[in-house]
Amino acid sequence: MINFCRNLGLNVLKGEGIEILSSLESNSISLITIFHMIEHMDSEKLALLLEQCYRVLKEDGILIMETPSIDNLLVSSKLFYIDSTHINHINPDRIIFDIQCAGFSKAKYYYINGGPLEYAPSLKLTRVLNGIAQDLSIIACKSNSISDYIFKHHFDWENNLSQAPTTLQAATNFDYEMERTLNEQSKSIHDLNEFIHLLNQEVILYKEKLRILESNLLIINKLILPFNTILRYFKKLIIYFCTSIFSFMCNYRITRSILNNKYNLLLIRATFKVFPFNLLNVSYEKVYEAINKVKQIDIKSMHFNQKLIEHYNNSSSSKEMRNILVKKNF
Do 47 and 104 form a contact (C-beta atoms < 8 A)?
no
Do 151 and 106 form a contact (C-beta atoms < 8 A)?
yes
Half-sphere exposure of 260 (CA within 13 A, CB side): 15
Q: Which residues does 61 contact at the CB level (< 8 Å), separation at least 6?
A: 29, 30, 31, 32, 141, 142, 146
Residues of the chain above pLDDT 70, percent? 79
- Average pLDDT over the chain reads 85
Spans of the chain, pLDDT less than 50: 279-280
CA R_g for the chain: 58
Give the Cα separation of 246 and 90 in Å (integer): 119
Q: Quote the pLDDT of residue 88.
A: 96
Q: Quote the pLDDT of residue 111.
A: 98
Give the Cα separation of 124 and 134 in Å (integer): 18
Alpha carbon 15 to chain centroid, angstroms: 66
User: Which CATH number is correct for 2-165, 3.40.1190.20, 3.40.50.1980, 3.40.640.10, 3.40.50.150?
Assistant: 3.40.50.150
In 3D, which of 131, 50, 132, 138 has the Cα closest to residue 93?
A: 138
The pLDDT tens digits for 141-170 are: 999 999 999 998 888 899 889 999 999 999
- Cα separations in angstroms, 71 against 150, 169, 302: 25, 11, 120
Quote the pTM value: 0.62
For residue 210, give the amino acid letter.
Answer: L
Q: Which residues does 51 contact at the CB level (< 8 Å), separation at least 6?
A: 102, 103
Rounded (10°) angle between helices 167-250 and 253-260: 150
Give the Cα separation of 63 and 46 in Å (integer): 14
Q: Quote the pLDDT of residue 280.
A: 47
The strand pairing partners of 139, in sequence order, are 64, 108
Give the Cα separation of 299 and 303 in Å (integer): 6
Give the Cα separation of 42 and 22 in Å (integer): 18
Q: Quote the pLDDT of residue 99.
A: 97
Q: If residue 321 lies in a helix (H) or strand (E), which one and from where to where? A: helix 316-327
Give the Cα separation of 50 and 90 in Å (integer): 14
